[in-house]
């Protein structure tokens, strides 16, 4: 997930235009309510073909024309010919109505139109009840489906309909998502991100959409020089491979008694890794390590038939850094697993050194099923993870704890 300081900088920059977007939305909201009065849910099934279809020119006041053109600023539907997107339209060239075959259950235009109206009505009922499974399975095209839902229920659904745009924003916010995740769930992910942010949770969804485009632009201009300069200025330039291309694996290592955590290796290396120093040089390294572990844990559970647990894996340090661990995961039997992540760009070596807080030390001593996950080669496509379960069992037997700082408190009084 994007560093909180970087996010706050983007939000500060957005403040310069936020009031303009809020005023704009007031006018758009009047237009949206006008549409709802014209096409209330209870009258959807009573629409005539002309009430519904696009294809009658600029004077068109149809359901589809309103959603695509008149309400364009509430979310643009692009990338698909209107007839294919809406499933049913009027062809001026042919002088008749045309319907996609998938809606022609009985092989007639009339049957297709009745079927489309029913599907829209059922979609709206599902949308009102937040029936995500039904929404996902609806035969209505994804962009049209998204526009219908956000128009009728703007507080429940996000008005971004392109899969490429959703991927762009999830990637820009450094939010991990499985490759098989569909458009519906990607919108939910973005909305959850908004709801969990102390600043943006008070914004309406339209304002959040504007923030995303204002901050990260469109996918087509993602590599624009100006965009790169802004990202560099804000510290958002990403030097790591796309997280979707990263394939983390685990390595088995043995702790050997000595003055430090020692790893038996066939390589004759003696260099110690100072994780803290690396984090100071590249403050995103730690977050990258956590992202890699988050992806690994989710994939491990999914690949072993525990998708229910994979959905519950939580990157807890992004919202509370006082817990003493970064990620809450699960063993295959459902037992909670508490993971503190340490990351390095180096390959594994015979000596490892890193820092933990006193709070992390106390948690590691007392919390059952606590783990250190050491991520090697964190900037590469094939990072390696060493999992050290209940690390404090090795204290003074391969793991040495050395105090490095003191918390100083001084009581004083004025000298008269």
Digit-by-digit pLDDT tens for the chain (416 residues) are: 788 888 999 999 999 999 999 999 999 999 999 999 999 999 999 999 889 988 765 557 899 889 988 999 999 887 555 567 888 887 777 778 888 878 877 778 888 899 999 999 999 999 999 999 999 999 898 889 999 999 999 999 999 998 889 998 998 888 877 777 889 999 999 999 999 999 999 999 999 999 999 998 888 544 444 444 444 433 444 467 778 888 999 988 877 765 455 433 333 344 455 544 444 445 567 888 898 999 999 999 999 999 999 999 998 887 777 888 999 999 999 999 999 999 888 887 667 777 777 788 888 888 999 999 999 998 889 999 999 998 888 887 777 777 665 556 566 566 76
Q: What is the DSSP letter of 399?
A: B
Which SS3 state, helix, strand or coil, does residue 346 take? Answer: coil
**Token digits of residue 5:** 């300081």
**7: its two tokens:** 């996010």
In this prediction, residue 6 carries a pLDDT of 86
Give the residue from 1, 322, 22, 10 showing the smallest Cα distance to 193. Answer: 1
Q: Are 184 and 234 in contact (CB under 8 A)?
A: no
Q: What would the DSSP string read from start to end of 211-230?
A: HHHHHH--GGGTT-HHHHHH
Bridge partners (DSSP) listed for residue 373: 341, 387
Cα–Cα nearest to 158, from 185, 123, 122, 128: 185
Report phi then psi at 91, rounded to 5.
-100, 110
Q: Give the C-alpha separation, 208 to 228, whole Å.
A: 22
Question: 221 is written with which tokens?
Answer: 């201009």
Spatial distance between the Cα atoms of 157 and 184, rounded to a whole number of angstroms: 9
Task: Give the model's pLDDT for residue 59.
Answer: 54
**Domain boundaries along the sequence of the chain:** 4-221, 243-394
Long-range contacts from 195-204, C-beta under 8 angstroms, 24+ separation: 196/319, 197/7, 199/8, 199/11, 200/11, 204/25, 204/154, 204/155
Distance of CA 357 to the CA centre of its chain: 29
Name every residue whose Cβ is closer than 8 Å to that of residue 106 and which is 6 or more positions away in sequence: none
Round to whole Å and give the CA distance between 159 and 148.
10
Residue 33 confidence (pLDDT): 96
Q: Are 147 and 67 in contact (CB under 8 A)?
A: yes
Q: What is the largest CA-CA distance in the chain?
A: 100
Report the alpha-carbon angle 400-403-409, nearest 5.
160
CA nearest to 316, candidates 297, 333, 302, 344: 297
Find residue 340's DSSP bridge partners.
372
Distance from C-alpha of 398 to C-alpha of 214, rounded to nearest angstrom: 52
Helices of type H across 48-106 = 49-52, 63-65, 82-86
Write out the DSSP string of 224-281: -HHHHHHHHHHT----SPPGGG---EE----B-SSSSEEB--SS---PEEEHHHHHHH
């Amino acid at each position: 997930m994007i560093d909180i300081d970087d996010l706050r900088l983007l939000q500060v920059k957005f403040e310069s235009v936020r009031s303009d977007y809020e005023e704009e939305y007031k006018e758009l909201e009047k237009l949206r309510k006008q549409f709802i009065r014209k096409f209330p849910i209870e009258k959807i099934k009573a629409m005539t073909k002309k009430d519904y279809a696009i294809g009658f020119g600029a004077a068109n006041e149809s359901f589809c024309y309103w959603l695509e053109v008149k309400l364009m600023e509430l979310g643009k539907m692009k990338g698909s010919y209107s007839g294919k997107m809406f499933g049913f339209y009027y062809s001026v060239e042919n002088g008749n109505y045309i319907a996609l075959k998938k809606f022609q259950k009985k092989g007639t235009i009339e049957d297709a139109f009745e079927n489309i109206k029913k599907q829209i009505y059922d979609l709206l009922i599902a949308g009102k009840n937040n029936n995500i499974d039904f929404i996902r399975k609806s035969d209505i095209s994804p962009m049209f489906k998204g526009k219908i839902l956000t128009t009728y229920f703007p507080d429940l659904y996000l008005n971004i309909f392109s899969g490429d745009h959703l991927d762009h924003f999830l990637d820009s916010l450094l939010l991990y998502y499985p490759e098989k995740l569909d458009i519906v769930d990607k919108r939910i992910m973005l909305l959850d991100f908004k709801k969990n942010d102390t600043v943006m949770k008070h914004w309406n969804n339209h304002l959040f959409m504007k923030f995303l485009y204002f901050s990260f632009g469109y996918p087509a201009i993602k590599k624009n020089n100006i965009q790169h300069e802004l990202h560099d200025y804000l510290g958002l330039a990403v030097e790591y491979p796309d997280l979707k291309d990263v394939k983390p694996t685990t390595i088995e290592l043995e702790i050997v008694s000595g003055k430090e955590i020692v790893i038996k290796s066939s390589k004759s290396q003696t260099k110690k890794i100072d994780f803290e120093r690396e984090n100071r040089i590249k403050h995103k390294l730690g977050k990258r390590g956590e992202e890699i572990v988050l992806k690994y844990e989710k994939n491990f559970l999914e690949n072993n038939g525990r998708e229910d647990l994979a959905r519950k894996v939580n990157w807890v340090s992004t919202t509370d850094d006082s817990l003493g661990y970064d990620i809450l995961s699960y063993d295959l039997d459902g037992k909670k697993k508490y993971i503190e992540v340490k990351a390095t760009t180096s390959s594994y070596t015979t000596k490892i050194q890193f820092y933990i807080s006193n709070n992390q030390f106390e948690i590691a001593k007392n919390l059952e099923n606590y783990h250190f996950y050491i991520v090697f080669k964190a900037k590469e496509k094939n990072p390696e993870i060493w999992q050290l379960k209940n690390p404090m069992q090795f204290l003074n037997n391969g793991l040495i704890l050395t105090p490095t700082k003191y918390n100083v408190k001084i009581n004083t009084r004025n000298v008269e």
